[in-house]
Chain A
């Protein structure tokens, strides 16, 4: 199914679609307020962009430096070329220690690698502990947003779900009550767990440390109770120096939720004295993206989600319409790189309005890259046959003034003779949200000529 088809399913419930749109616009407005309180905001964005550009240019060096320093701190660093290597490494670590119960905090990387189903298939119990992720884990769905995984759901849906899964009162939809029910349930999971898996927001080459940001405190519970901490990160997460964190942490939460900083910003340098820390560095297509002239800067993304909150298409089509680990504008760049056949409709799910570029804290030129993807997908033959033919004919006509002139005459004639209902029957997808304009009797050039003559 393509993005427009899945978006149509989402829009079949207008009340839900409208609530989704408003909820995300509310977050966008909070982001604007937070950004406005920092007079040096634009300078921070420029610095962040520059640090990322520099880091990507020397990524191999910084990864090696990170590995050396993390190892010196007592962590064990693993390298995984792809998702399956990543999953095997994590399973191996857990199996060696006889772990059967794992708690996880949010990690888009493990989502990308399909770690949960893999571990479950090997008999482990994996509990997602971010509240939104726990909700969608119960529903066996994927996150619809990287910051708010369950933003597509209503409180009534959550109440019904928790009544079924946790035995909470089905009549109570108050979020405080629902969060309290989840807190009790997940505390038990934290206390029983034998290992904690986290993502990584930033890794620091100079110190060998990793930084994990949460509002709920779930990464800290998951790493302070069980003795084994496995941190999974994409290779693009490294920054050169600890002081670079000052720049990124000022931007991250403000861009993501409008908060000045997340409630917990934890810096792990090596394992607990009574535990182990394993860090898995994952490529899974990143080095290929790194090599591409057009798209390598998309690796600068710090996963704040601001481009999703502001995107008029995302807000109105819902995250699930992208059928991707990372949805929205940035996902529409990253996902086709991974699987162009499956994600070929995503670069077209965009009006090129440029709003995402305006809010991106690391100044990724998202509209330019989305446009490049359209070109690349067309060149690789991924356009639908009708679209390709239409562009072919269009190009042939517009290349020649005479052909353009005659095509205009033909269209004005056809447009007058054929009723729009007939037209709409043959161009269903296009015409479902558009109607044909009234066809003028004469071309613009003819009208202009007549007007000029009249003026003389």
Chain B
């Protein structure tokens, strides 16, 4: 399929924009004395504080081996009737069901999902996060890790697992970590879904997840 649909409009728009005859300059350098945290500990406190301000919460987990126990202690996970985990060793369908000593009927078999709408009744999803941003509590989730993009927003509750060492201070550092060299999807997720559209009253749980818990792994 041609990308240059409606060529007449394209040519006329570009010609009109060039008519001004601007000097071709270079974009400004993005540099500044950005505020940065003094230590890893203060960076982590900053991240947790901003995540909580966005309506999310954070649970520290000593190691990946401790993750199942941390999940079991998470009410949204424990009470979920249908759930998905994309993290190995946490009872995900196809990955670790065997380790848990048999099939857990609450685990959704993603291999059997042909249309994203079949995930509509999902109660909980556990997704891997790539890195977190201290200044706004956001976590970058790479769509390449999601068999369906809808796993980000369809589940009633969301858990994201993140290495405690994968934190940056601000968005400038965040974009230094990111490369976009081809098709893909990614999202900064900051807290659960929310709205203030009725009389400025903040309500958590608009369309996407009603809660977000970030599990910070102290050791990978």
Contact = CB atoms under 8 A, between A and B. Distances in A.
Given A132-B197, A135-B197, A224-B152, A47 B30 contact: yes
Given A80-B9, A221-B153, A243-B30, A129 B20 contact: no
Given A40-B32, A243-B172, A260-B135, A175 B198 contact: yes
A57 B27 CA distance: 10
A176 interface: yes
A113 to B, nearest CB: 14
A215 B194 CA distance: 5
B208 interface: yes
A54 B25 CA distance: 7
Interface string B29-59: 0101111000000000000001001100000
A325 interface: no
B180 A267 contact: yes
Interface string B183-195: 1111111111111
A27 B200 contact: yes
Contact of B197 (A73, A85, A149, A235): A149
Contacts of A240: 27
A260 B3 contact: no
A264 B200 contact: no
Contact of A263 (B1, B23, B150, B194): B194
Contacts of A148: 196-197, 200
Nearest to A82: B9
Contacts of A245: 171, 175
* Most A-side CB within 10 Å, residue of B1, B7, B193, B206: B206
B136 A215 contact: no
A407 interface: no
Nearest to B150: A224
A311 interface: no
B188 A264 contact: yes
Contacts of A287: 13, 16-17
B114 to A, nearest CB: 10
B72 interface: no
Contacts of B196: 148, 215, 257
A269 B3 contact: no
Which of B5, B54, B137, B191 has the most CB atoms of chain A within a 10 A radius of its CB?
B5
Contact of B14 (A55, A64, A180, A209): A64
The B interface is mostly helix, strand or loop, or mixed, namely loop
Interface string A268-285: 111110000000010100
Interface in A231-246: 235, 240-246
B82 interface: no
Contacts of B34: 40
A108 interface: no
Nearest to B6: A79
A226 to B, nearest CB: 9
Contacts of B188: 249, 261, 264-265
Contacts of A44: 32
Contacts of A370: none
A390 interface: no
Contacts of A209: 180
Contact of A129 (B149, B180, B207): B207
B117 interface: yes
Contacts of A77: 3-5
B164 to A, nearest CB: 20
Interface string A44-65: 1001001100110111110110
A291 interface: yes
A265 to B, nearest CB: 4
Q: Which of A43, A60, A204 is the most central at the interface, judged by chain B CB atoms within 10 Å of its CB?
A: A60
A207 to B, nearest CB: 4
A71 B3 contact: yes
Given A40-B35, A179-B205, A51 B28 contact: yes
Contact of A260 (B16, B22, B50): B50
B201 interface: yes
A387 B205 CA distance: 52
A27 B201 CA distance: 11
Given A154-B199, A158-B198, A224-B116, A74 B183 contact: yes
A288 interface: yes
Given A217-B153, A260-B54, A131 B201 contact: no
Most buried by B among A241, A246, A269: A246
Contacts of B200: 23, 26-27, 148, 151
10 contacts: A76-B3, A149-B197, A154-B199, A158-B198, A217-B152, A217-B153, A235-B13, A260-B135, A269-B184, A291-B19
- Closest 8 pairs (CB-CB, A-B): A217-B208, A270-B183, A260-B136, A132-B197, A216-B206, A287-B16, A57-B22, A224-B149
Given A61-B24, A224-B153, 18 more contacts: A58-B22, A63-B13, A179-B195, A209-B180, A216-B194, A217-B209, A220-B187, A221-B150, A224-B116, A225-B150, A244-B30, A263-B54, A265-B138, A267-B186, A270-B184, A271-B183, A283-B16, A296-B20
